Structure 1
Amino acid sequence: MAHIWRYIKREPKLLFLNFIGAIFFVLINLGLPTILAEMINEAIIPQKVNLLYFWSIIMILVIIAGAAGRVLLSYASSKLTTLMIRDLRNDMFEKLQLYSHEEYEKIGVSSLVTRITTDAFVLMQFTEMTLRLGFNTPLMFLGSIIMIFITSPSLAWILLAAMPFLIASIVWIAKKSRPISKEQQESLDQINQYARENLTGLRVIRAFSREDFQADKFHQETNHYSQVAGRLFKLMGLANPLFFHILIWMIILIMWFSLGPIEAGRLNIGVLVAFIEYAFHALFSIMMFSQLFMMYPRTNVSANRISEVLEMPISISPNEDGVTETETNGYLEFDNVTFAYPGETESPVLHNISFKAQPGQMVAFIGSTGSGKSTLVQLVPRFFDVTLGRILVDGVDVRDYKLSALRQKIGYIPQKALLFTGTISENLRYGKYDASEKELIRASDVAQASDFIERTQEKYQTFLAEGGANLSGGQKQRLSIARAIVKEPGIYVFDDSFSALDYKTDAELRRRLSEITKHSTVLVVAQRISSIRQADQIIVLNEGEIVGRGTHEQLMAENKIYQEIAASQMKGDQLFKEGDEDHA
């Protein structure tokens, strides 16, 4: 619960107002039974109308003052809670921005969404309840106990006898609820995961007619969540009946054991009413505080899940004191690089990779599926860190750079084109916020995106749906390429970024791209040999090792694996052409 205090102590004025409101509320509520006792003894029983009016006015004023205290308490607690949850979610989101792929894989995207939404909401509920009850219920309890002993010490034992039963019930419920709360949050993680998979994979699900299968999986998990939540609510539902059952028996005992003192004149009606009120306040304070106690197990589970997010060690340090500027721009060197994914150090996916590239050169990577092509280029912007060896950008180890400065040098176009909700111009300016309209048009023209942009009614102000869902795969790829061109980086990394383009568009895009990358290094991961024939250096990978390098002509003459890839693709193209002829 350290997180809660860490955030609410940032607002000392609101915390002070909350405390004042709580004290004011307690004093008023403790004063009312005393006023009621005086009204009964001095005005109602003697039937003195003037005194009845006097005590009624006093009671009304006290009630108004109590309402003011409640309003102050509600305002301060609500404001504090709102600010706390805002800052907590902001801090979680900022921490997520620092996560590498390793951290995301450890927790899972669906679980992270649950933690930043549902778990944070659980903390918000508990904090607001604590601010409203955490101050005033202990004060109310202590004040009520004092007034009970002042009012009628002889009846105080009844309250003391009732308290152990109430406290034992609360402890038992809280202990039972903790494992159920943990199971509930884990089930919610699973529901979010299924919902996310269903929404992102909707086309595949429909293509395979697996809607019923997905629905069954989701229904099973929601049923499980419902059963777990039902067990938790049933357990929590025992609290109120237990409390009122104990309260009723306490009142019965008070009334029974007060008959003798009233008959003997040692206790009057007003004092008895006040005593019952104070006893009620004392037990009710325990009951209200028990709400916090019973909420605590679930809140503790959520707090631990949030702590895991905030305290997760970052494997890729942002290195805020690292190198930010270099004399050169675009030089790249892999020096005997070996890489294994975290936890799999005995099975490296890349072995002893070494090559150099400089501005004006295109270096292409080709190989069978799983040969490590995409992994290799993802090491350049430090999505992962090398296990052995080093990567130099402009003569500096990438680990010695300030991370943001390193990535500013690189234009990365991923295998799966990703666009953000917003306009086309907002997406194109993602890497260069102050890019002019002229720069956007130029980049779009090079990326062969101008035609379809100009055909839209709003052109560069066209609004894109989530993930660019209102565009085709080829259109999204071209916009992703244009976004990198706008940035004008020293190193372009194309991670199989032309796969959704037809041959004609691919060829024209590469021709135009070569014109604007004369002073940049271009890394290309490709599947088609036809798209990398003009590369200055082609590196052939097989099972994470370099098994060939050179120009297209050199590899066709000397490298068996490259020859096999070329032969298979030429055969595929020939079959495709023959199929077209037969169809014609």
Structure 2
Amino acid sequence: MNYIWTYLKRYPKYIVIDLVMGMSSVLINLGLPTIFAYIIDKAIIPEDTQLLYRLGALMLAVIVAGAAGRIMLSYVASKLTTLMIKDMRNDLYDKVQLFSHHEYEQIGVSSLVTRITNDAFVLMQFAEMSLRLGVISPMMFIGSIIMIILTSPSLAWFMLAALPILAFVIYFIAKKSRPLSEVQQTSLDNINQYARENLMGLRVIRAFTREKFQEDRFKNEVEDYASISGRLFKLMGVASPAFFHIIIWMIVLIFWFALKPIEAGELQVGNLVAFIEYVFHALYSFLMFSNMFMMYPRMSVSAKRLEEIMDMPISIEPNLDGITETETRGYLEFDNVTFAYPGETENPVLHNISFKTKPGEIIAFIGSTGSGKSTLVQLIPRFFDVTLGRILVDGVDVRKYNLNALRQKVGFIPQKALLFTGTIGDNLRYGKYHATDKELERATDVAQAKDFVEKTQERYHSFLAEGGSNLSGGQKQRLSIARALVKKPDIYVFDDSFSALDYKTDAELRRRLKEITTEATTVIVAQRVTSIMNADQIIVLDKGEMVGHGTHDELLANNEIYRAIAESQIKNASLGE
């Protein structure tokens, strides 16, 4: 509840209005039985028509005022919870934006989506119920108890006898529902994970004809979720029938035991009607409050999951007060860098990596799969932090930079090209929002994407589907490269970004790149020797260690691993011909 209150207290004006409307509704609802009792005893039984009309008009006015108050209460509660969920989701999204790869791996992308959508919605439902029923129910219950005692002390013991039974039912249901809620939310995480994997891996699934396997796996998880939800809803569904049966039996008993006081003239008919109304209000408000109480365990589970996101320590702080400007541009240095993933410090992925580059140079990394090439370049924009050593960009340790300023210096192009829903122009301007059309044209021309872009009907205004699924792999890769070129960073990082290009396009693109990157450092991770032959420096990695450093010709002459890679590719190319 503290987590919800953190957001609700931001809007004190609406909270005050909610409390005032709640108290008004309670007073009106408690006043109606009193007026009704007076009508029966003083107007209907004595047949006083004039008094009946006057009291009827008063009752109608009270009913209208009560309806207006209820409407206002519902509006304010909805408004307040809408503002709460807006702020909550914005804060969660902002926090997730600060996560490094390590935090994402800890929670999981599917679980994060579930928490920001489903768990936040559970909190919104509970908050709205609290602002409506949570405000009215306690006051209504206490007020009704007072009126019950004042109206007929001799019959009030029925109410007191029923309360322990109702309290036990609430406690039993709440205790049983919490563990079920936890399992239910975990199962929902799994459903989202399987759905996400199925949608993203649709082509692979079809290629391996594994549709039935995926269907069965998803179906089993959905059935587990349905089973858990069924048990939870059955448990929650017991409450209302049980409470209403108790209320009905209490009313029957009240009528039965009220016969003698009425015959003896100790209790008037109007007071009996009012007494039953008060009993109904007391028990119904208790029922409404119990529904909120029974929903509390589920809300508590969701709140805990959201607090886990908000309280999770950030492994890579944004360093808002860090360095934003440097005198030089395009210099990169690794100084005895060793890196191990969090929690695996005894098994470093990289060992004592050292090199220097200056603007206009191309440095390339090559090696077998798993040698640490991609991990190495991900350290430059601080997707991870080094374990030992340091990385210098323009003579400054990357950890001393303002994180946004550091990443503005780096243009990162991953192997798996990712485009966003929107136009081609929107995607190209992702790193430089105010880029002109001429800048887009120049970037696509260098990236060898201009021809296919201009063949589209609306050119740079052509709409891309989610993830750029209406483009080929090579087209997406070229647009990703163009996006980085539009940004004009100080350091270009190509993480095997030419893999989907044919040899001719690859060669032309690299030639054009060299023309426009004379003031920037270009870092290339490659699998093909032909992509890096003209690099100023080539570093050969093997099991995370530097086993070769030099130009193409030097490594061919002196490095067995590089020579073996080159010869195998030349041999494979010859066989392919």
TM-score, with length taken from structure 2: 0.99
Corresponding residue for 1:173? 173
Q: Does 1:160 align with 2:149?
A: no
Distance 1:22 1:504 in 2: 74
1:71-82 aligned at under 5 Å gives the runs: 71-82=71-82
Q: CA deviation at 1:310?
A: 1.2
| Deviation at residue 17 of structure 1 after TM alignment | 1.1
Deviations 1:139-186 (A, max 9, x none): 101111111111111111110000110011011001100001111111
AA at the equivalent of 1:403:
L
1:61-460 matched pairs, under 5 angstroms: 61-460=61-460
> Residue type matched to 1:554 in 2?
E
Distance (Å, rounded) in 2 between the aligned partners of 1:234 and 1:71 = 31
Give, in angstroms, the shift of residue 129 of structure 1: 0.2
RMSD: 0.6
How many Å apart are 1:250 and its aligned residue? 1.1
Counterpart of 1:572 in structure 2 is 572
Q: In the aligned structure 2, how far is the partner of 1:243 from the partner of 1:55?
A: 33
1-structure distance, mates of 2:409, 2:97: 19
Give the distance between the partners of 2:3 and 2:451, measured in 1 at CA.
Answer: 53
Q: Which amino acid counterpart does residue 271 of structure 2 have in structure 1?
A: V
Which amino acid letter does the alignment assign opposite residue 459 of structure 2?
Answer: K
Tell me the secondary structure at the aligned position of residue 154 of structure 1: coil
Q: SS state of the match for residue 155, structure 1?
A: coil
Corresponding residue of 1:581? none
Counterparts of 2:105 and 2:500 in 1: how far apart (Å)? 27
- Cα shift at 1:445: 0.2
CA distance in structure 2 between the aligned counterparts of 1:158 and 1:3, rounded to whole angstroms: 39
* Aligned match of 1:481: 481
Give, in angstroms, the shift of residue 26 of structure 1.
Answer: 0.5
Query: Match of 1:535, as an amino acid?
Result: A
Residues 380-418 of structure 1: CA deviation (Å, up to 9, x unaligned): 000000000000001110000000000000000011100
Q: If the length of structure 1 is used for normalisation, what is the TM-score?
A: 0.98
Q: How does 1:488-567 map to 2 (within 5 A)?
A: 488-567=488-567
- Give the secondary-structure state (helix, strand or coil) at the position aligned to 1:416: coil
Distance 1:299 1:322 in 2: 39
Inter-partner Cα distance in structure 2 for 1:55 and 1:225: 55
Q: Which whole-Å CA distance do the structure 1 matches of 2:415 and 2:179 have between them?
A: 42
Q: How far is the alpha carbon of 1:509 from its aligned partner?
A: 0.2
Moved over 6 A (4+): none
- Residues 430-483 of structure 1: CA deviation (Å, up to 9, x unaligned): 001111110000000000000000100000000001110000000000000000
3-state SS, counterpart of residue 416 of structure 2: coil
- Give 1:134 deviation, angstroms: 1.0
Structure-1 separation of matches of 2:558 and 2:70 = 86
Letter in 2 for 1:402: N
Which whole-Å CA distance do the structure 1 matches of 2:83 and 2:544 have between them?
50
Residue 319 of structure 2 aligns to a residue in which SS?
coil
The residue type paired with residue 257 of structure 1 is F
Residue aligning to 2:53: 53
SS in 1 for 2:338: strand
Question: Aligned partners of 1:287 and 1:540: how far apart in 2?
Answer: 72
Q: Which residue of 1 aligns with 2:20?
A: 20
Give the Cα separation in 2 of the matches to 1:361 and 1:490.
Answer: 12
Aligned mates of 1:550, 1:237 — CA distance in 2: 73
Task: For 1:459 and 1:96, locate their aligned partners in 2 and report how far apart those are by CA, in whole Å.
Answer: 34
Aligned mates of 1:164, 1:50 — CA distance in 2: 45
Which ranges in structure 1 are unaligned for 5 or more consecutive residues? 578-584
Cα distance in 2 for partners of 1:208, 1:46 equals 88
Aligned partner of residue 255 in structure 2, secondary structure: helix
Structure 2 counterpart SS, 1:539: strand
Q: Secondary structure at the match of 2:522?
A: strand
CA distance in 2, matches of 1:282, 1:531: 80
Deviation at 1:55, TM superposition (A): 1.5
Deviations 1:183-211 (A, max 9, x none): 11111000000000000000000000111
Which whole-Å CA distance do the structure 1 matches of 2:429 and 2:414 have between them?
17
Distance in 2 (CA, whole Å) between partners of 1:2 and 1:327 is 48
How far, CA to CA, are the matches of 2:50 and 2:531 in structure 1? 102
**1:298-345: per-residue Cα shift (whole Å, max 9, x none)?**
000000001111111100100000000000001011000000001111
SS in 1 for 2:155: helix
* Cα distance in structure 1, aligned partners of 2:141 and 2:120: 30
Equivalent position SS for 2:317: coil
Aligned to 1:582: none
- One-letter code aligned to 1:309: I
Between the aligned partners of 2:239 and 2:47, the Cα distance in structure 1 is 42
Secondary structure class of the residue paired with 1:307: helix
Amino acid at match of 1:204: V
Residue 244 of structure 1 deviates from its aligned partner by 1.0
- Structure 1 position 68, deviation (Å): 0.9
- Measured after TM superposition, the shift of residue 247 of structure 1 is 0.7
Cα displacement string for residues 45-71 of structure 1 (whole angstroms, at most 9, x for unaligned residues): 122222221211111011001001101
- The one-letter code sitting in structure 2 at the alignment partner of 1:212 is K
Question: Aligned letter for 2:546?
Answer: I
Q: Aligned partners of 2:266, 2:387: CA distance in 1, in Å?
A: 86
Could you tell me how far apart the structure 2 residues matched to 1:333 and 1:150 are? 85
Q: Give how far 1:44 is off.
A: 1.3
Structure-2 separation of matches of 1:193 and 1:512 = 42
Give the letter for the 1:70 counterpart.
R
Once residues 2 and 335 of structure 1 are traced to their aligned partners in structure 2, the CA distance between those partners, rounded to angstroms, is 47
C-alpha distance in 2 between matches for 1:466 and 1:43: 72
| Cα distance, 1:257 vs structure 2 | 1.6
Report the 3-state secondary structure (helix = DSSP H, G, I; strand = E; otherwise coil) of the residue aligned with 1:233: helix
Unaligned runs of 5+ in 2: none
Pairwise CA distance, 1:256: 1.8
Alignment-mate amino acid for residue 58 of structure 1? L
CA distance in 1, matches of 2:3, 2:75: 21
3-state DSSP of counterpart to 2:445: helix
- Distance (Å, rounded) in 1 between the aligned partners of 2:244 and 2:411: 67
User: How far off its partner does 1:522 sit?
Assistant: 0.5
Q: Secondary structure at the match of 2:5?
A: helix
List per-residue Cα deviations over 1:80-110 (Å, max 9, x = no partner). 0000001100111111110100000000000
Tell me, in whole angstroms, the C-alpha distance in 2 between the residues paired with 1:450 and 1:415: 20
Query: SS where residue 79 of structure 1 aligns?
Result: helix
- Which residue number in structure 2 is paired with residue 10 of structure 1? 10
Name the stretch that deviates more: 42-51 or 202-211: 42-51
Give, in whole Å, the separation in 2 of the partners of 1:96 and 1:463.
28
Q: CA deviation at 1:7?
A: 0.9
Aligned equivalents of 1:184, 1:50: Cα separation in 2: 61
Secondary structure class of the residue paired with 1:392: strand
Shift of 1:31: 0.1
How far did residue 258 of structure 1 move? 1.2
Equivalents in 1 of 2:275, 2:392: separation in Å?
Answer: 81
Q: CA deviation at 1:353?
A: 0.4
SS in structure 2 of the partner of residue 118 of structure 1: helix
Q: CA deviation at 1:295?
A: 0.4
Tell me how far apart the structure 1 counterparts of residues 400 and 415 of structure 2 sit (CA, whole Å): 27
Tell me, in whole angstroms, the C-alpha distance in 2 between the residues paired with 1:427 and 1:50. Answer: 77
